[in-house]
Structure 1
Amino acid sequence: MAMTMNGEVHLPASREVVWQKLNDPAVLKKCIPGCEELASSGENQFQAVAKMKVGPVSARFGGRVTLSDLDPPNGYRISGEGEGGVAGFAKGGATVALVEKDGGTLLTYSVEAQIGGKLAQLGQRLISGSAKKLADQFFVSFANEVQSSDAS
């Protein structure tokens, strides 16, 4: 099953601060819902483990994340793939862009993902709703991280 999602969030910090946080594994680990591990595995590459629950399906996904098309501090492309055992798999990517706006930074993202296995059997509406909820949780946490570091 394929899905796409787009969004934007205004962050109260400079583009440089937002860029730095987007590339900090410790910050990302705190912000990604269900993330248990996020460690560098090479230049612009990370190994990740996250526990996710979508409807009745709960699984621990292990996978890798790669950053490409880096254009500091304007944006990049993030790609990843993960396996969740019998729950299925997920792979996809997102383009992230940062633009100065209203004394802060406007972060826009465009995601495309492919899922398979039990997850894909849950239906488009449930998957899309869960993906939107996870994205919202990430950006609320990320905005809090950016604000707390900007205040210090």
Structure 2
Amino acid sequence: MDFTGEELITAPRDLVWAALNDPEIMRGCIPGCQRIERLSPDAFEATIKVKFSLLSATFHGLLTLSNVDAPKSYTLSAEGKGGIAGFARGSADIVLEKRGDETILYYRARAELGGKLAQLGERLLDSTSQKLAVGFFSDFNAAVVAKAATG
């Protein structure tokens, strides 16, 4: 499953970059995120509950940053296990383009699910994964704009 998108964020690129690296902002924006903890500058441990149609699963896993080119881009990779539901792996290439006092955030995401989740059907998984990504970036946009407004 691959999908792309973009968000126009009315905040400077440095502020958007800082928010992309802030575990508290990420926790509030990742749909179903119950916990996120920084393990190192480039690694986080997370617990995320996701609902796929009638099946919901809690994933425990690792988020890692690579290809870091601060404050322009990075790749965020995730891998989690959801018990009997299966596993989830994915990554998102994030690029921040400075446009005056605003920032355009471009993303290209990929996701792979296995186990019982994979049996649900590709169309359902595609739509749920895309909905989660769109929700994250929309919530992230709102969080960054709110942070910019409060200074």
The residue aligned with 2:4 is 6
Counterpart code for 1:82: G
The residue aligned with 1:59 is 57
Contact 2:87–2:114 at 8 Å: present in 1 too? Answer: yes
Partners in 2 of 1:75 and 1:69 — Cα distance? Answer: 8
Counterpart code for 2:65: L
Deviations 1:68-87 (A, max 9, x none): 11111101011110000111
TM-score by length of 2: 0.95
After superposing the two structures, state which structure 1 stretch, 92-101 or 30-39, moved more: 92-101
Partners in 2 of 1:73 and 1:42 — Cα distance? Answer: 18
The residue aligned with 1:37 is 35
Contact 2:111–2:129 at 8 Å: present in 1 too? Answer: no
Partners in 2 of 1:95 and 1:147 — Cα distance? Answer: 21
Deviation at 1:36, TM superposition (A): 0.4
Counterpart code for 1:18: V
1:1-152 matched pairs, under 5 angstroms: 3-101=1-99, 103-152=101-150
RMSD of equivalent CA atoms: 1.0
Q: Percent identity?
A: 43
Deviation at 1:43, TM superposition (A): 2.7
Deviations 1:125-145 (A, max 9, x none): 111111111112112211111
- Aligned partner of residue 135 in structure 1, secondary structure: helix
Counterpart code for 1:42: S
Deviations 1:31-50 (A, max 9, x none): 00000010011231000001
Contact 1:57–1:118 at 8 Å: present in 2 too? Answer: no
Query: How many residue pairs get matched?
Result: 150
Contact 1:47–1:63 at 8 Å: present in 2 too? Answer: yes
- Aligned partner of residue 16 in structure 2, secondary structure: helix
Partners in 2 of 1:43 and 1:105 — Cα distance? Answer: 23
Partners in 2 of 1:69 and 1:78 — Cα distance? Answer: 9
- Aligned partner of residue 20 in structure 1, secondary structure: helix
Q: Which runs of 5+ in 2 are unaligned?
A: none
Contact 2:68–2:74 at 8 Å: present in 1 too? Answer: yes
Deviation at 1:5, TM superposition (A): 1.1
- Aligned partner of residue 121 in structure 1, secondary structure: helix
Partners in 2 of 1:102 and 1:117 — Cα distance? Answer: 46
